[in-house]
Amino acid sequence: MSSFTNASILKPVLFAMSVALGIVSASAQAASGEDLFKQQCAACHAIQKDAPMGMGPNLSGIVGRSAGTVQGFPHSEEFTKALNGKAWTPELLDKWLENPQQVAKGTYMMYQQPDAAVRADIINYLKTIK
């Protein structure tokens, strides 16, 4: 095994390892919004375009879309009254995820996220799903 401790072999190996680690941590960061979505939203919401809806409407392309326009989803009256004609800007999504009941009192969506950083990660992920 002595040849493996030879510095001329070890140097490029260490270099390659640190490059690989750099790639891993960058993609772990990019995935964190996706992981949060899986943990906190996916039980009720599909995100893949054309996936069947769950308890909530499909969220593909949600950022910029008009609220309540997923075909065939039976929204609550409260949701429709409060959000009809409004577009899901990142700001409105942020308010919504913090406390949906404050945006549309009586909405079916039972969820609250007090952590602004977690909301931002999830919203940034949603922006990437067209």
Where do contacts with ligand HEC occur on this chain (CB under 6 A)? 40-41, 43-45, 55-57, 59, 62, 67-68, 70, 75-76, 79, 88, 93, 96-97, 107-111, 113, 122
Closest CB to ligand HEC among residues 12, 74: 74
One-letter identity of residue 115: D
Specify the 3-state DSSP secondary structure of 19: helix
Closest CB to ligand HEC among residues 16, 77: 77
Closest CB to ligand HEC among residues 22, 77: 77
CA distances from 25 to 5, 20, 54, 95, 124 (A): 27, 9, 32, 30, 18
CB of 49: closest distance to ligand HEC in angstroms?
13
Q: Calculate the CA dihedral of residues 46, 73, 55, 32 and round it to 10 degrees.
A: 30
In the chain, the DSSP E strands lie at: none
Closest CB to ligand HEC among residues 12, 114: 114
CB of 122: closest distance to ligand HEC in angstroms?
5
CB of 129: closest distance to ligand HEC in angstroms?
11
Specify the 3-state DSSP secondary structure of 66: strand
